[in-house]
Amino acid sequence: MTWYHTLLQHLINGLALGAVYALIALGYTMVYGILQLINFAHGEVFMLGAYFGLSALLLGQVTGPLPGVWCWWVTGMMLLAILGCSLTGCAIERLAYRPLRRAPKLSLLITAIGMSFVLQNVVMLTYGAQDRHIPSVMPTIRWTVGGASVTAMQVVLVCSGLVVMLALHLFIRRTRVGWAMQATAQDPVAARLMGIPVDRIIALTFALGSALAAVGGVLFGLYYATVNFHDGYLMGLKAFTAAVLGGIGNIPGAMLGGTLLGLLESVGAGYLSSQWKNVFAFVILVLLLICRPRGLLGERVVDRD
Amino acid sequence: MRQLAWLLAGVLWLTSCGPREPVVKIGFAGPLTGDQAAHGLDLLRGAQLALEEAQRQGPILPGHRVELVAMDDQRSPTQAVSVAKKFVADPDVMAVIGHLNSSCTMPASAVYHTARLLELSPVSSNPQISRQGFETFYRICATDDVQGPAAAQFLMDQLQARRIFLIDDMTTYGRGLANEFARAVQEHRGQLLGHEGIPQGEKDFAPLLTKIKSLAPEAIYFAGMYPEGALLIKQRYELQVPAIFMGGDGLFEEALVQLATPQAAEGVYLTTLGGDIAGVPAAQGFVRAYEAKYGAVGAYSAYAYEAMNIVLWAIKTAGQKDRAAVLAAMKHLKEYSGILGVHTFNEQGDTRNRIIGIFTVRNGRFTFVTQVVK
């Protein structure tokens, strides 16, 4: 392998990882944009996505060799995860955040952290504290592209990331509900005066963000073949970093931030040392925020003082 | 309603006043939750089986009920110390079997030592633990100063792999084993292309493996446990790294093949801290009993089974419920023949039965290749 093959391989690895970060980061950024709340329970929703995917497999009675076309299994996992996570997202909003809508922002933040612990423990008690193995529904298909190795899983990861993000972009820019979301983010009081059902729009934002995390969770589970109840913590923290990197509240920013973080981590861990992989992500964040305090693409939050 | 309350009170009074049989407890400590729970369960079942078999043959200590008390150390050194303190504080506990990870056994052994409580470690293989000089500490497995060199020699002599990349999981066990391995490679004039650590719990090793691929080693040696090992094996396959993959006894777990997918795990080598029990006639009774009760024998089950039998021997020999007597009885143990071999302990508490088994994954199953006796 020459140096550019290695670099290409690092970039491919980073892109696949970045797609997952981006999918989770979108949820953080959407909720922040609309409520100015850092929803710390979002990482747990992502982890739940992987568990819902696992449940879909278990429901389909899969223990031995998997019958049928793998696409259907993946679709089934996705559907159950999206449904389950959206409902969980809405429930979190309704039970934990809506009653505190008028409370100081700090109380909401603490509630979010509490919610995160509740979800972790619920999963631990229902699925057990062991690592759960997710059977590989997808056959391991490998290609060699320009001297670098690409797996079918990585292609699925990046492609589904792209499709989902494009769909989200079109939804927010081109549909009436999307406009209503933008209006609510800009000024909830004015939006309410214009006849926008603000509460419902906020619930929808949570559902949508959770659905994206669910897609990320299922892909993560399939990619790494195991899931644990505390997997959401570090992934959530990194995705939050990605959201801040791109400019929190900014949807294209989250996509850019996620991809960039994945790439930087891969290249950093590959060329420097894998022991410093996690440190690297946060060093980048600090450096970038010193130079651009509002993130790469800038925050999209209206000052409401 | 009132009658019911009286009745209940009466029942409670009756049960509390019955003559209570004194109990002797044997502690078990290992990870029963978390990513290494499968290892912990293998150990616990082995210990349970040994106790049940012994009880079927008659009382272990006349007039006493013997109980196994299992506690979860979550593979965390801090949890291990708190578990150790709980065992020490319970006057009924006469011995402890555990822990799994050297990083847990190391600090916990000091707690047992101050309380003069016998600790028998089934699989913690870091040689530093016994070098602390605690007379309460015994272990029945070979140590990493044998395991590391055995693996290095096998790679270089049998498999002709001299360009090696070394990975460890930065724990007491992993780093210790990796250092022993590295020393042996250098002594045999092998070439160590690099030595990197990975944090436990990490899942994405693609950057590290890409770096390894660009260095084109003939073999990768991983000193760590199976959750990370499985992902390394899987991702190495996906990245098409052609090097031979070899690991230490931490990979010796059936779940490894399933987690790594059988096609990626095919041809992986690993060492174990004892020989192949399938080839030992004395162990066949254990294998049959275990399979009848729990299914396929776990990788570490035989070690815990052996440890429990030795603890029971010590309690029987002591003939009384007294920690000091149990400890003193251990000193008299010579040429104890168990299922892993004949044990005599040296002055540090390590067994002189030092066998390293070498296994490979063939058709999705661990297959015995050879063994090294030191």
pLDDT in tens, B146-180: 999 999 999 999 999 999 999 999 999 999 999 99
Q: What is the pTM (predicted TM-score) of this model?
A: 0.88
Residue A94: inside a domain? yes
Q: CA-to-CA distance for A132 and A228, rounded, in angstroms? A: 6
Sort out which chain B residues have CB atoms less than 8 A from A273's CB and list them.
196
Residue A97: inside a domain? yes
Q: Check if B264 contacts A (Cβ < 8 Å).
A: yes
Give residue A50's pLDDT band: very low, low, confident or very high (50, 70, 90): very high
The answer for A 163-202 residues in CB contact with B (under 8 A) is: none
The answer for A 225-254 residues in CB contact with B (under 8 A) is: 225-226, 228, 231
Number of domains chain A is built from:
1
The answer for A 261-280 residues in CB contact with B (under 8 A) is: 265-271, 273-275, 277-278
Q: What is the pLDDT of residues A168-216, one digit of tens each?
A: 999 999 999 999 999 999 899 999 999 999 999 999 999 999 999 999 9
**B306, pLDDT greater than 50:** yes
Residue A24: inside a domain? yes
Q: Which residue of B has its CA nearest to A4?
A: B214
Q: Mean of the pLDDT values across residues B50-66?
A: 92
**A88, pLDDT greater than 90:** yes
Closest by Cβ to A6, choosing from B203, B210, B237: B210
Give residue A255's pLDDT band: very low, low, confident or very high (50, 70, 90): very high
Residue A177: inside a domain? yes
Q: Mean of the pLDDT values across residues B248-258?
A: 91
Q: CA-to-CA distance for B113 and B97, rounded, in angstroms? A: 14
- Is B196 within 8 Å of A130 when comparing Cβ atoms? no
CA A66 to chain centre: 28
Residue A176 has a CB neighbour count (10 Å cut-off) of 8
Q: Which whole-number Å values give the CA distances from A56 to A219, A243, B21, in the listed order? A: 14, 30, 50
pLDDT of residue A92: 95
pLDDT of residue A158: 93
Residue A56: inside a domain? yes
Higher pLDDT among residues A136 and B13, named by residue: A136
3-state SS assignment for residue A7: helix
Q: CA-to-CA distance for B231 and A221, rounded, in angstroms? A: 12
Domain B145-272+357-373 - what CATH class? alpha beta
**A64, pLDDT greater than 60:** no
Q: Using N-to-C axis directions, what is the helix angle for B102-114 and B77-89, rounded to 10°?
A: 30
Sort out which chain A residues have CB atoms less than 8 A from B214's CB and list them.
1, 3, 5-6
**B253, pLDDT greater than 70:** yes
pLDDT of residue B219: 97
Burial class (CB in 10 A: 0-12, 13-18, 19+), B20: exposed
Residue A284: inside a domain? no
pLDDT of residue B126: 95
**B41, pLDDT greater than 80:** yes
The answer for B 4-33 residues in CB contact with A (under 8 A) is: 33
Residue A160: inside a domain? yes
pLDDT of residue B17: 52
End-to-end CA distance of chain A: 57
Q: What is the pLDDT of residues B173-205, one digit of tens each?
A: 999 999 999 999 999 999 999 999 998 888 899
Q: Mean of the pLDDT values across residues B210-222?
A: 95
How many A/B residue pairs have CB atoms within 8 Å? 101
How is chain B split into domains, by residue range? 23-143+279-343, 145-272+357-373
Q: Which residue of A has its CA nearest to B35?
A: A131
Give residue A147's pLDDT band: very low, low, confident or very high (50, 70, 90): confident
Q: Which of A101, A90, A96 is nearest to A36 (CA)?
A: A101
pLDDT of residue B38: 86
Residue numbers of the domain that contains A108: 18-231
3-state secondary structure chain B: CHHHHHHHHHHHHHHHHCCCCCEEEEEEEECCCECCHHHHHHHHHHHHHHHHHHHHCCCCCCCCEEEEEEEECCCCHHHHHHHHHHHHHCCCEEEEECCCCHHHHHHHHHHHHHCCCEEEECCCCCCHHHHCCCCCEEECCCCHHHHHHHHHHHHHHHCCCCEEEEEECCCHHHHHHHHHHHHHHHHCCCEEEEEEECCCCCCCCHHHHHHHHHHCCCEEEEECCHHHHHHHHHHHHHCCCCCEEEECHHHCCCHHHHHHCHHHHCCCEEEECCCCHHHCHHHHHHHHHHHHHHCCCCCCHHHHHHHHHHHHHHHHHHCCCCHHHHHHHHHCCCCEECCCCEECECCCCEECCCEEEEEEEECCEEEEEEEEEC
Q: How distant is the Cα of B226 from the closest Cα of chain A, in angstroms?
A: 12
Residue A116: inside a domain? yes
Q: Mean of the pLDDT values across residues A252-276?
A: 89
Does residue B113 have a cis bond before it (omega within 30 degrees)? Answer: no
Q: Mean of the pLDDT values across residues A76-87?
A: 95
Higher pLDDT among residues A284 and B6, named by residue: A284
pLDDT of residue A305: 43
Q: CA-to-CA distance for B129 and B45, rounded, in angstroms? A: 25
Q: Check if B204 contacts A (Cβ < 8 Å).
A: yes
Burial class (CB in 10 A: 0-12, 13-18, 19+), B213: buried
Burial class (CB in 10 A: 0-12, 13-18, 19+), B137: buried
SS3 content of chain A, % helix, strand, coil (to 5): 75, 5, 20
- Is A144 within 8 Å of B240 when comparing Cβ atoms? yes
Give residue B4's pLDDT band: very low, low, confident or very high (50, 70, 90): low
Assign domain B23-143+279-343 to its CATH architecture: 3-Layer(aba) Sandwich (3.40)
